[in-house]
Amino acid sequence: EMSEIPVLLAKPVNKADACHMLWLLSGRTHKVVTAVALIWPLGTAIASDTTNVTFRELTEEEIDAYIATSEPMDKAGAYAIQGGAAGFVEKTEGSISNVIGLPMELLTGMLDKFLAE
C-alpha cells in the first residue's frame, strides 16, 4: 500500500489555483500545522500544533461562489474556517484557533511554562 504524498497548500496564486485547492480538500480530511517560536530572555521554545479538518463534499457552484467573494485569495489552503468556508467543515479535531492562524492553547501553555521558570 502506497502512502499519500503530502501536498503543501500555501496562499493561492490566482482563482484557478484556489479552485484546485478547494477541490483537493472537498470530501477529505487535511491537517493544518502551525509552528510557534518564542524568544525569551531566559531562552527559546519552539513547538507546533496540528488540527485535522474534514470538509464535506463541495459542489462546483459552492466553490465558484466562494472564490467570487475573493476571501480565499489571501488564505493558506484557500479558505477561512472562521469565514465563508465555515459551512464546508464537517468536523474538526484539535484547536480551531490553530486553523485560524495562531494556536492559542499551545501559545498559552508555552508562556505559562516560561513564566513559571
Question: pTM, whole model, 2 decimals?
Answer: 0.89
pLDDT, position 3: 63
State the DSSP code for 70: T
Query: Cell triple for residue 38?
Result: 518564542
How would you class 14 by CB atoms within 10 Å of its CB: exposed for 0-12, middle for 13-18, buried for 19 or more? Answer: exposed
Question: d(Cα 42, Cα 14) in Å, to the nearest integer?
Answer: 43
What are the residue ranges in the chain where pLDDT is below 50?
none
Give the model's pLDDT for residue 1: 54
Q: What is the pLDDT of residue 71?
A: 97
